Structure formats: C-alpha cells, structure tokens
Amino acid sequence: MATRLLALAFCTVFLLGASVVKEPSETLTVKDSEHPEALVNTRPDATDLRMTITTPKGDLKKGEECEVKVEIYNPSAYIEIVYMPALTVAPAFVPDKKNLRVDEYGPPMVFGRMSAKDERLNYVVLMGGDSYARTYRWTPPDSGQVSFRAVYLNRKNGEEIGVKAWTGELRSESKHLRISAQ
C-alpha cells in the first residue's frame, strides 16, 4: 500500500513538473552562466555595435553571382539585443551605358530578412565579442560599378516581449567594385 501511494505521489509530481516545463515563457531573459545579472545596453542614444560589409576581392563579372556578407559586431562588455529584420542591404549599381531606358534594369533591389510571426524569434542576443551576420547573393546585370549599402534601422525596443533592444541606426557602405563585361 505504501509503495502504491509513493508511486502515485511520484507520478503526480512528475506530471505537474512536466506541464510547467513545456509551457514557454512569454518573455526573453538574458542570463549568462558565469554572470547571471549581465548588463544589457539600455542607453537609447549610444551603442558600441559596429557594422561591416565584406565583398569579393577583385572585379566582378557581368552575369556571375557574387556573395556579400554584412556583419553587426558587439565589441563591448555590454549585451546588445539586435532586431534582425531591421537590417537591409542594397546594391548601388551604376551601369556603363549612357542612354538608358527608364525601366531597363527594373526597380532597385533591396535585401532584408522577413520578420517572424512570433516576435520573440526576431531578436538575437549579442554578448561581448558576438556578431550577427547575413550573406546575400547578387548577380551584376551589366558592366559598370557597384557598391553595397547596409542600413540597420531599428525602431522596436522589444518591450512587448520583455527585452531591451537598442533602437537607432547604423550605416555602412562597401568600396566600389568594377563589373567587367566578361
């Protein structure tokens, strides 16, 4: 009889514990195993985040796909929270042609990340030394030159999900790359 009561009590406690564990939290917490109360940058007017653009070395060729990497780096001791859909990249293409039709190359292309339906999935936590990087592929449509312009423009501070994301703007532009006809 005592064994049955003990087994029943164990099962009850186990089921209650399992139901508590499987419910996700509605907030995002930033806790580091070594520093449980790590400092999050909440300064609305300042950040130490740095943004860089890495492009192929040398000239590009018309019609050959190239890769461009954009990286947001956190060099500080503070934790920075980045809203990923706030990063966009646009190739600034200038063709060699003199007489262009208005729609010859179509509208300017802009790369970005779609936002997830669950807002908690749109944020990334950058500890000191961490980075968030995205790689984009672009095919030059003609000969000329191009530079890539990256903009991180965040207006979402994360309060709706319980985080403190930095709001503001970072800009970076790559060097000009030459595009040859072949």
pLDDT tens, N- to C-terminus, the chain (182 residues): 666 655 555 555 555 554 444 444 444 455 554 555 567 776 656 788 999 999 999 899 999 999 999 999 999 888 888 999 999 999 999 999 888 777 778 777 899 888 899 988 999 999 889 999 999 999 999 999 999 999 999 998 888 888 888 888 999 999 999 999 87
The model scores a pTM over 0.85 = no
Q: Give whole-number Cα distances, 99 to 95, 139, 145, in Å.
A: 10, 22, 16
At the topology level of CATH, where does 28-180 sit? Answer: Immunoglobulin-like (2.60.40)
Q: Can you point out the beta strands (E) in 18-167?
A: 50-54, 60-61, 66-73, 80-83, 87-95, 111-112, 123-126, 131-138, 144-154
> Angle 16-22-23 (CA atoms, 0-180°, nearest 5)?
95
Q: Do the Cβ atoms of 78 and 48 come closer than 8 Å?
A: yes
